[in-house]
Amino acid sequence: MRRVSVLSVRAGEFIKKRETKYVEFDTSFLRRVIVDEHTGDECVILGSPESTFRKACRRDWPFENIDEGANWIIEDARGNDITRKRLSDYDGIARIVPKYGVDRVSDYHSEERFYSSIEDSVEYYD
């Protein structure tokens, strides 16, 4: 097994600021940076080279503003869906995006959304 020096961030941690502190890690696991589309926070995911981006994200769900069970995709820098691609296939910074509309956890638990009715959205004119 080969060991090299890489950025010192554990999987599931958000990157507060980029530092120049390096330590040795086992390179049999790949780390990828995913940006949360809602907050702009960068998070590191971890997985084997054969693991998909989806599997690596679900392994230790770090995104508080996105519901894990919602429809979401991982996009590369060009907007291509790489959710089902292996971690070894893409080494750039990716982002997690809700697939349909806004899928924030706060929206699911909002009392206003839960009890909304058609009467709340209709304007009446005389």
- Domain range 3-121, its CATH number among 3.10.20.90, 3.90.550.10, 2.40.50.840, 3.40.1190.20: 3.10.20.90
Position 38 confidence tier, pLDDT thresholds 50, 70, 90: confident
Asked if the model's pLDDT at residue 97 lies above 60, the reply is yes
Task: Give the pLDDT confidence score for residue 103 in this predicted structure.
Answer: 44
- Report the pLDDT averaged over residues 13-42: 75
Classify residue 64 by burial, with Cβ atoms within 10 Å: 0-12, 13-18, 19+.
Answer: middle
Nearest-5° Cα angle at 60, 55 to 65: 100
Q: Which of 99 and 30 is assigned the larger pLDDT?
A: 30
- Report the pLDDT averaged over residues 57-67: 86
Return all residues near 36 (Cβ < 8 A) that are at least 6 apart: 42, 43, 63, 65, 66, 95, 96
Structural domain boundaries in the chain:
3-121
Asked if the model's pLDDT at residue 110 lies above 60, the reply is no
- Report the pLDDT averaged over residues 52-66: 89
pTM recorded for the entire structure: 0.61
Position 7 confidence tier, pLDDT thresholds 50, 70, 90: low
